[in-house]
């Protein structure tokens, strides 16, 4: 396979998201081994700081789509602009994160460009000249390999944190502006407001220490035990989606791609199995400690330290040790 790999840069509050650097790292390795060109597309308005943070991250070229119409995210506008770039450049592959942005963009771009889309991937390797992706199934309990033999471009979304991020030395990207054509009169939707979740007692996205609980706590009455550990450590509590879905805690405490991304210094997962949507939103934490009685729980794949045991034995022991 030859041609171009195009990475879709993603931002959070004006800062390039870590998943973009991970995708560039993978793209650089593939580009070098297959004789391909690696480009990254920055989409938005007044994105100079984003562009500068991507100068030395492995890309050969930074494509810049800058227009006032792109200042506020709109799936319809962004997918139109990005699809036009893809049609113009005809890359062999388009990489994006398995995030809200990537979930909306990947299928739309593949459809508009008559390509092939595959989502929620963990890795990409090759069988000869045929790309093969690895992705989880059934909540991460199984991994499958999928050979991609449909029409290009291959639009592939990867789980955040699934790929390594490594420094690339001696490679400085060039910049190129791309034409942006947005006919506002032809749009069927418009973004009225970006609604942010209300903060709870503490904004979990700013916590240095999080003690998070999952379905494994059993019932609502066990929440005070988890909070006791969090208080002893000077941290805050958080939860996985099942806890929020059952109404035991508000969604402002939920960690997941449908709620909050968190990057505390320490993340302790109590009774959390490790569904991909949860892991993607916490795996950038500095230190991850998982407590689960199932030794095969997917959470252990991202944990720096794992404790296989009953959390109702382990947590009280931790509290005693911390408060001794």
Helix (H) or strand (E) holding 314: helix 311-323
Q: Where do the domains of the chain lie, and which CATH numbers do they carry?
A: 4-186 (3.40.50.620), 204-323 (3.40.50.1220)
What is the dihedral sign for C-alpha 288, 289, 294, 295?
A: positive
Cβ neighbors of 209 (< 8 A, separation 6 or more) are 230, 233, 234, 235, 236, 264, 265, 266, 268
Its pTM stands at: 0.72
Rg (CA), the chain: 21
Q: What is the 3-state secondary structure (H, E, C) of 63-102?
A: EEEECHHHCCCCHHHHHHHHHHHHHHHCCCEEEEECCHHH
pLDDT at 235: 92
Residues of the chain with pLDDT under 70: 1-2, 139-141, 167, 169-170, 196-202, 257-258
pLDDT at 127: 85
pLDDT at 139: 61
Cβ neighbors of 287 (< 8 A, separation 6 or more) are 265, 266, 267, 304, 305
Q: Give CA–CA dist 217/186, Å, rounded.
A: 51
**Burial 83-96, CB ≥16 within 10 A → b, else e:** bbbbeebebbbbbb
């Amino acid at each position: 396979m030859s041609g171009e790999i195009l990475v879709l840069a993603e931002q959070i509050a004006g800062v390039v998201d870590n998943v973009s650097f991970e995708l560039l790292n993978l793209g650089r390795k593939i580009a070098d081994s297959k004789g391909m060109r690696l480009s990254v597309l920055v989409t938005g308005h007044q994105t100079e700081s984003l562009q500068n943070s991507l100068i030395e991250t492995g890309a050969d070229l930074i494509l810049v789509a800058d227009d006032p119409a792109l200042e506020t995210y709109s799936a319809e506008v962004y997918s139109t602009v990005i699809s036009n770039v893809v049609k113009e450049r005809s890359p062999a592959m388009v990489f994006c994160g398995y995030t809200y942005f990537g979930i909306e963009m990947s299928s739309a771009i593949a459809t508009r460009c008559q390509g092939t889309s595959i989502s929620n991937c963990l890795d990409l390797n090759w069988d000869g000249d045929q790309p093969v992706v690895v992705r989880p199934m059934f909540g991460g309990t199984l991994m499958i390999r999928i050979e991609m033999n449909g029409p290009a471009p291959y639009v592939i979304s990867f789980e955040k944190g699934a790929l390594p991020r490594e420094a690339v030395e001696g490679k400085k990207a060039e910049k190129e502006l791309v034409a942006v054509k947005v006919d506002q009169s032809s749009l069927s939707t418009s973004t009225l407001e970006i609604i942010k979740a209300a903060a709870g007692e503490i904004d979990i996205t700013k916590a240095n220490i999080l003690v998070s609980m999952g379905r494994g706590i059993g019932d609502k009455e066990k929440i005070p035990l988890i909070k006791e550990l969090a208080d002893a450590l000077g941290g805050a509590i958080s939860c996985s989606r099942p806890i929020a879905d059952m109404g035991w805690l508000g969604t402002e405490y939920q960690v997941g791609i449908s709620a909050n991304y968190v990057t505390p210094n320490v993340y302790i997962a109590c009774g959390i199995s490790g569904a991909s949507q949860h892991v993607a939103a916490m795996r950038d934490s500095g230190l991850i400690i998982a407590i689960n009685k199932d030794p095969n729980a997917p959470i252990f794949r991202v944990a720096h330290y794992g404790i296989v045991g009953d959390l109702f034995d382990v947590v009280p022991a931790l509290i005693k040790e911390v408060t001794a």
